[in-house]
Amino acid sequence: MNIVLLGAPGAGKGTQAQRLVADYGVAHISTGDLLRAAVKARSELGVQAKGYMDAGQLVPDRLVIGLVKERLGQDDARRGFILDGFPRNTDQAVALDAAGVALDVALLVDVAPQVIVDRLSSRRTCRDCGYTAGAAADACPRCGGEMYQRDDDRPETIRRRRDADAGRPAP
C-alpha cells in the first residue's frame, strides 16, 4: 500500500505515519528525516539543504525530489510506503507522477495554525536517536540521550515555514 500524508509541518503526519507503519508494515519516508540525515552525514545535498533549513526556509524542490526518488528505490519502499511531507506542492506531485509512482490513498492532516506553533515549539529531539518528545523530557525515553530543541522548532521559524508553505512572505 502506498500512502501520502499531507499537512503542515507539525500537523501530526509523523505520528499518524508511525501508527500506519505499525498496522501495515510499510516504509515510513519522511522528507524532514531524510533531510536531517543528509545534513548529519554532511553529504553534498545535506550541505546545500542546511543553509535553507537553518534560515527556516523550504529546501528547493530539486533537492527534495532527488532525495525522495533515491529513497523510493530502496528495497523496503518497494513493498509499500508512507510519504510524510512529500509532495508539498504541485511541482513535487508532478515529479512523483512522472517517476511512475502509484499511490493508493492521500490523507490530509489538518490542524489549526496556533496548535502547530504550540506543538512544535514544545517539541524536543534526541541528539542520538532522533526520538521526539515534549519539552518536559530531560533525557530521551528511548536511549537516554540528550534532548534539545531544533532550530526549526522555534516559534519564529515555525511561522516562517508556515508562511512559505502558503506562498506568503514571512513577517
Q: Indicate which residues carry an active-site annotation.
A: 13, 88, 123, 150, 161
Q: Who's near 45: CB < 8 A, 6+ residues apart?
A: 38, 63, 66, 67
In angstroms, rounded to a whole number, what is the distance separating the alpha carbons of residues 152 and 164?
13
CB atoms within 10 A of CB 57: 15
* Max CA separation in the chain (angstroms): 45
Own/partner long-range contacts of 125-128 (Cβ < 8 Å, ≥24 apart):
125/149, 125/150, 125/153
CB atoms within 10 A of CB 76: 13
CB-CB contact of 7 with 108 (8 Å): yes
C-alpha cell at 92: 513535487
Q: Running DSSP on this structure, what letter comes out for residue 170?
A: P
The DSSP bridge partners found for residue 107 are 5
In angstroms, rounded to a whole number, what is the distance separating the alpha carbons of residues 109 and 12?
7
